[in-house]
Amino acid sequence: MSKATVIKISDLPQAFSEVHPHNLWLYCKAYEASNRANTAQTKNRSAVRGGGKKPWAQKGGGRARAGSLRSPIFVGGGVAFGPTTNKNYFQKVNKKQKRLALMHAIAEKAANEKLFVVDSVIVESGKTKDAKALIDGFNQRDVLVVKEMIDDKTFLAFRNLQQSYLVEESELNAYLAAAYHSIVIEKSVFEKLTKES
């Protein structure tokens, strides 16, 4: 790996610093919603066991009418309006908004001088200790490493490192860019990212 260049906010195109932060908030909200397990489920009065017999006579007892002890008003009864697994948490994010969110996340890293550009990220030995030495050279808390195309050896070297996460160019998104303390990105990927259309 060649020497890293620290990117400042002044090195980015003007459009990066003009993006409203709300775009990033909306994208992260949608991203986390899509990761929900959606496994919370309760039983309603038709699914809970028992309650086949009318608990007491309709009239004459002085109590309110009741047809089943599995009604939501009784202990041991079903749950009214509880969560079900058929709920959809999907939130739509437009393609343009995804782009703006990523631009703002990148701009934030550049403003804090946490964006590093290198010619290439490659660990030919495939050893974790070599990848760790590479990451330790940046002296950052945790690092998102963005590579144009991940090769097998580099993947093996990075996969057990806790303080870094290796992704391909196509996997880079605003949530990951915002979540990590700093970003190390290959020059070819950075140039595509900042190319003004």
Question: Hey, where are the domains in the chain?
Answer: 5-36+93-194, 41-88
CATH C-level class of 5-36+93-194: alpha beta
Backbone angles phi, psi at 92, to 5 degrees: -75, 135
pTM, two decimals, is 0.81
Contact 117, 7 (CB under 8 A): yes
Distances (CA, A) of 36 to 85, 89, 94: 11, 8, 20
Q: What is the pLDDT along the chain (197 residues), one digit of tens a residue?
A: 567 888 898 889 999 999 999 999 999 999 999 998 888 999 999 999 998 899 999 999 999 999 999 999 999 999 999 998 888 899 999 999 999 999 999 999 999 999 999 999 999 999 999 999 999 999 999 999 999 999 999 999 999 998 899 999 999 999 999 999 999 999 999 999 988 54
Task: Judge contact between 186 and 148, C-beta under 8 A.
Answer: yes
Angle of helix 95-111 relative to helix 22-34, nearest 10 degrees, comes to: 110
d(CA 176, CA 103): 12
Whether the Cβ atoms of residue 104 and residue 23 lie closer than 8 Å to each other = yes
